[in-house]
C-alpha cells in the first residue's frame, strides 16, 4: 500500500533484506532471534493521504502475528475522519487482538486534542481504549516523509488527552524528537498515564535529546523504529544504548520491565 515516494525512504541499501524479513512472521522471528530481541510491537496505522495505508492494515497485522502473539504484538489504528462509527470500528479492531492503537498526527492530519473541537468523534476512540485499558501510542516530533504535516508534530496537545482520559496508557513515540524533547519529558512527568518511547532516536544522541531520562526510568520504553530511515540494526542500537552508562537497573526497566508491565506480560 505504501506510496512510492515514501517507500524509497526505507527501501534502500541500508535496509537490504528488510522485505524478506517482513515477508512472513517466521522470518521475523528468526530476525529477532539473531538480534537478541524477545518481543516487538508490530506497528501499523491508517494514513491513506500521506502514506497510503488504509483500514485493511488492521486485518493484515492481526493475521501476520496470529501464530506468534507471544512475541509479536499487533498494533493497529482507527482514522476518525474515515469512519462513520468510530466507536464501532475501534471495537472491531480491538476484538481482533490488537494490543495498542497508533495515532500519527503528522501523517493522519489531525491534532490529538481534536476531540475538543473539530473532530468530536475522536473521543469515541479514546473512550473505547480507556474502557478496555488499551494503550495509545502517539507519534510525536517531526516526520521527514513526503506530505507529512509537521504542524501536528508538537506533543503538547496530548496534555488535553491525558487530562480528559486519565486512565488511557499513553506512549509518546520518539519522545518528541528532534524539536520537542522538553515538552515530551514534561508530559511524562506531569501525567501518571504518560510514558516515553525512544524509537527513532539514535542512542548516541539520546542524552542530548533526553538529558533527564534517568529521572523517570519507570516511564521510558525501548524501541528502534526499524526499518525506518536511519535505523539499520536492532542489536547495534541496543548495544549503543547499554554503552551510555545508565546502569543495569535502568537498562532493565527501559529494555524490558516497563513494556512487560504495560502489556501485562
Give the number of other CB atoms < 10 A from CB of residue 8.
11
Burial 128-158 (b: 16+ CB within 10 A, else e): bbbeeebbbbbbbbbbebeebeeebbbbbbb
Question: Which residues, in sequence order, are CB contacts of 220 under 8 Å at separation 6+?
Answer: 195, 196, 197, 198, 213, 253, 254, 258
- Please check whether residue 20 lies inside any domain of the structure: no
- Please check whether residue 145 lies inside any domain of the structure: yes
Residue 265 reports pLDDT greater than 80: no
**Residue 89 belongs to domain with CATH number:** 3.20.20.140
- What pLDDT score does 229 carry? 84
Cell of 68: 506468534
- The range of the structural domain enclosing residue 118 comes to 78-262
- Reported as a single tens digit per residue, the pLDDT across 35-76 is 999 999 999 999 999 999 999 999 999 999 999 999 999 999
Task: Report the number of distinct structural domains present in the chain.
Answer: 1
Residue 15 reports pLDDT greater than 90: no
- Please check whether residue 157 lies inside any domain of the structure: yes
- Please check whether residue 37 lies inside any domain of the structure: no
Q: Mean pLDDT across the stretch 149-158?
A: 98
- Please check whether residue 151 lies inside any domain of the structure: yes
- Please check whether residue 93 lies inside any domain of the structure: yes
- Reported as a single tens digit per residue, the pLDDT across 137-152 is 999 999 999 999 999 9
- Reported as a single tens digit per residue, the pLDDT across 193-237 is 999 999 999 999 999 999 999 999 999 999 999 998 889 899 999
Amino acid at each position: 500500500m505504501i506510496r512510492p515516494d515514501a517507500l524509497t525512504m526505507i527501501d534502500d541499501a541500508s535496509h537490504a533484506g528488510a522485505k524478506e524479513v517482513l515477508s512472513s512472521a517466521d522470518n521475523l522471528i528468526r530476525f529477532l532471534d539473531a538480534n537478541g530481541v524477545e518481543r516487538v510491537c508490530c506497528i501499523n496505522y491508517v494514513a491513506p493521504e500521506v502514506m497510503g495505508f488504509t483500514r485493511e492494515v488492521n486485518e493484515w497485522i492481526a493475521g501476520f502475528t496470529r501464530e506468534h502473539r507471544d512475541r509479536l504484538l499487533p498494533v493497529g489504528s482507527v482514522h476518525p475522519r474515515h469512519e462513520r462509527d468510530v466507536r464501532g470500528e475501534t471495537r472491531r479492531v480491538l476484538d481482533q487482538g490488537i494490543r495498542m492503537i497508533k495515532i500519527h498526527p503528522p501523517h493522519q492530519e489531525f491534532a490529538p486534542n481534536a476531540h475538543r473541537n473539530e473532530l468530536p468523534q475522536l473521543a469515541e476512540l479514546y473512550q473505547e481504549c480507556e474502557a478496555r485499558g488499551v494503550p495509545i501510542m502517539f507519534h510525536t516530533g517531526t516526520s521527514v516523509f513526503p506530505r507529512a504535516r509537521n504542524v501536528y508534530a508538537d506533543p503538547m496537545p496530548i496534555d488535553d488527552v491525558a487530562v480528559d482520559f486519565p486512565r488511557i496508557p499513553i506512549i509518546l513515540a520518539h519522545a518528541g524528537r528532534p524539536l520537542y524533547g522538553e515538552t515530551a519529558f514534561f508530559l511524562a512527568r506531569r501525567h501518571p498515564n504518560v510514558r516515553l518511547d525512544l524509537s527513532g532516536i539514535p542512542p548516541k544522541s539520546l542524552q542530548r535529546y533526553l538529558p533527564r531520562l534517568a529521572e523517570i526510568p519507570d516511564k521510558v520504553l525501548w524501541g528502534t523504529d526499524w526499518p525506518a530511515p536511519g535505523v539499520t540494526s536492532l542489536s547495534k542500537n541496543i548495544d549503543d544504548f547499554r554503552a551510555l552508562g545508565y546502569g543495569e537497573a535502568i537498562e532493565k526497566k527501559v529494555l524490558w520491565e516497563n513494556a512487560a508491565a504495560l502489556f501485562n506480560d
